[in-house]
Amino acid sequence: MVDDVNSASAALSGTQLEWFKDDLLERYAAEHRTTMRLLRAMPASCADFRPHERSASALEVASTIAREQSGIVSVLDGSWTMPPSFPPPPTTWADALGAVERGGSNVIAALERTPAERLRESVPFFVGPRQVGPMVVRALLWFWLLDSVHHRGQLSVYVRMAGARVPAIYGPSADEPWA
């Protein structure tokens, strides 16, 4: 898969890379707004909630989103290394909300200032179990965006189980009907 993405990235024209960057920036900003609405819906008193003993807590899931945002920024600004270095995880729900809010703003700003050609480059990343190899930056950015959406999905279930109101995400929810 990594080789397919590498080949596809090499084939993109400069104009296509600009379009990709613009689309990614627009999509990331929209997903970030939705993620923040969901995080704000989770009661702070439920930060330690986990639906199963093997599940991450709500705070740990939010911390994962913040960590991935930090990774995106370091990939875009050229400071990414393997193994990665991340800021310490937030210890309270308020800290997690702040970290994800700042992280999203930092990602958007980094995307805005990143030359589109950077998206064609590769960085070291996990490409298999205990295996590091080159990953095209644009593929890694999509990976992290989709993974954060996945973790937001986890949190939407946590919000419901915590008895809070689930906001509309890609359409109406039982708590935010459109009709």
pLDDT tens-digit map of 88-119? 999 999 999 999 999 999 999 999 999 999 99
DSSP-based three-state secondary structure for 55: coil
Written as six digits, the tokens of 16 are 């296509």
Pairwise CA distance, residues 43 & 175, whole Å: 15
Written as six digits, the tokens of 6 are 């590498």
pTM above 0.85, yes or no: yes
Q: What is the average per-residue pLDDT within 35-58?
A: 97
DSSP per residue over 7-27, as a string? HHHHH--HHHHHHHHHHHHHH
- Decide: 18 and 116 in contact? Cβ < 8 Å: yes
Q: Is the pLDDT of residue 6 over 80?
A: no
Question: What pLDDT is recorded for position 14?
Answer: 81
Q: In terms of residues, how long is the chain?
A: 179
Written as six digits, the tokens of 121 are 């480059």
- Domains in the chain (CATH in brackets) are 14-161 (1.20.120.450)
Pairwise CA distance, residues 79 & 30, whole Å: 26
Cis peptide before 83 (omega within 30 of 0): yes
Q: Is the pLDDT of residue 70 over 70?
A: yes
Across-strand partners of 123? 135
Written as six digits, the tokens of 95 are 């800290």
Res. 39 pLDDT band, cuts 50 70 90:
very high
Show Cβ contacts of residue 18 under 8 Å, excluding neighbours closer than 6 positions.
116
